[in-house]
Amino acid sequence: MMRTRPLKVALLGCGVVGSEVARIMTAHADDLTARIGAPAELAGIAVRRPDRVRAGIPRELITTDATALVKRGDIDVVVEVIGGIEPARTLITTAFQHGASVVSANKALLAEDGVTLHAAAEQHGADLYFEAAVAGAIPLVRPLRESLVGDKVNRVLGIVNGTTNFILDRMDTGGTGYSEALDEAMALGYAEADPTADVEGFDAAAKAAILAGIAFHTRVRLDDVHREGITEVTAGDMASARRMGRTVKLLAICERAEDGRSVTARVHPAMIPLDHPLASVREAYNAVFVEAEAAGRLMFYGPGAGGAPTASAVLGDLVAVCRNKLNGARGPGESAYSRLAVSPMGEVVTRYHVNLDVADKPGVLAQVAAVFNEHGVSIETVHQQVRDGGEASLVVVTHRASDAALTSTVDALRRLDTVRGVAGIMRVEGE
């Protein structure tokens, strides 16, 4: 039988994502009511700028006092789409204290202090859902927390930041410069409020921390994730990748060590073959591979950013949380029983593309090869291109080696007189 009292929803933030959440809640109210089993009603919307015109949103719902809204006591679900650490963290924990469950899109906060949020949800018997925090519209959090919870996930690898994928895609195929592409991504609502979070890899690292935590049933924080953004990726790197039949993507890679006792999590630009499925992920799309012991290799693909796609994930969580409320049930809480160590980047083993500027003299190639050999880094291919003025460019692609071995190799190469400079080092993945 249909319950008559509506479930009351408080929306915190009415920006790119929040405005779409409000729009869909209104536009699809009847369907949402039928799917939940009771109406989900917007009971208040906390904003920072109350005078802004917001089409379709009744003014009486708008407040600038988010704290009072979450303390009302009659709110069933708080949807947090403000972003950032504070006041979002305090608002969420206050919401739990006052009997609400929470849906959040806030990867920065979940990666920084998910422990506090999960503990507060647990203490108050509430739900904390966060599908929108990772890879926008793509269902990934729920598959990992629910569908794959009976399996053993060993690896999660993919593109989890729409803004940087958009920029790299434009640089690679459109001839558009970095700044122009970033401006476009910001205008389309893909970027974070401070786009440094995107281009420096913080946003992808936060998502990697969340993914590693839920995939491996352990705790991984933002600081545990090795992070490199795309600000150092040059048109030269792109061209060099193309010449080798590859392209450049910003990847997030979370892996369980072979002995099963530790994990690694990293975000960095990487070269991947042009025929790899991730190479055809364009614009602000995301794609993530999950490798699990019994399931094998799964691929999740779709829009990774933007107001409406992200609101879709928020709405999915909202319906789930409302259903739980009606049934007196709870969704999954934090599962971090494995307590695995997070290994440092030096222990990560992968392949490398090393671009050297060298003197075009006899014996240089042998000298360079000897340095790789001395550090136990095996060379797969070498390409030499002679330039004017007695200089040459040498591109060395290695077999798999540890990050520590590669770093000491490059240090030693820099000390050779015949090596004028290290023009670029990039990891090679997906082969």
Ligand X SMILES: N[C@@H](CCO)C(=O)O
Ligand Y SMILES: NC(=O)c1ccc[n+]([C@@H]2O[C@H](COP(=O)([O-])OP(=O)(O)OC[C@H]3O[C@@H](n4cnc5c(N)ncnc54)[C@H](O)[C@@H]3O)[C@@H](O)[C@H]2O)c1
Which residue numbers are catalytic?
Answer: 207
Which helix (H) or strand (E) segment is 51 a member of? none
Nearer to ligand Y by Cβ, of 237 and 317: the residue is 317
Nearer to ligand X by Cβ, of 254 and 396: the residue is 254
AA identity, residue 48: R
* 47 Cβ neighbours under 8 A, 6+ residues apart: 13, 14, 54, 62, 63, 64
Nearer to ligand Y by Cβ, of 206 and 428: the residue is 206
Applying CB under 6 A, among 38, 47, 100, 321 the residue interacting with ligand Y is 47
Applying CB under 6 A, among 128, 222, 305, 358 the residue interacting with ligand Y is 305
Nearer to ligand Y by Cβ, of 85 and 149: the residue is 85
By the 10 Å C-beta count (0-12 exposed, 13-18 middle, 19+ buried), 5 is classed as exposed
Tell me if 5 sits within 8 A of 38, measured CB to CB: yes
Indicate if the alpha-carbon torsion angle 256, 262, 264, 265 is positive or negative: positive
Indicate if the alpha-carbon torsion angle 143, 144, 146, 149 is positive or negative: positive
| Total residues binding ligand Y (CB under 6 A) | 28
Q: Which residue is nearest to ligand Y (CB)?
A: 15
DSSP H helices in 233-306: 235-243
Strands 379-386 and 391-398 come out as antiparallel
304 binds ligand X (CB under 6 A): yes
Reading the block at residue 72, the tokens are 């009302």
87 binds ligand Y (CB under 6 A): yes
Tell me if 149 sits within 8 A of 334, measured CB to CB: no
Applying CB under 6 A, among 169, 192, 255, 317 the residue interacting with ligand X is 192
15 binds ligand Y (CB under 6 A): yes
Q: Is the peptide bond before 87 cis (omega within 30 degrees of 0)?
A: yes
Tell me if 129 sits within 8 A of 317, measured CB to CB: yes
What, of ligand Y, ligand X, Na ion, none, does residue 78 touch, CB below 5 to 8 Å by kind?
none
Site residues, Na ion (CB under 5 A): 131, 134-135, 138, 140, 313
AA identity, residue 101: S
What, of ligand X, Na ion, ligand Y, none, does residue 76 touch, CB below 5 to 8 Å by kind?
none
What, of ligand X, Na ion, ligand Y, none, does residue 161 touch, CB below 5 to 8 Å by kind?
ligand X
Which helix (H) or strand (E) segment is 298 a member of? strand 296-303
What, of ligand Y, Na ion, ligand X, none, does residue 131 touch, CB below 5 to 8 Å by kind?
Na ion
| Total residues binding ligand X (CB under 6 A) | 11
Give the residues lining the site for ligand X (CB under 6 A).
136, 161-163, 190-192, 198, 203, 304-305
State the residues that interact with ligand Y by CB under 6 A. 12-18, 46-49, 66, 81-83, 87, 105-107, 132, 136, 189-190, 192-193, 305-306, 310
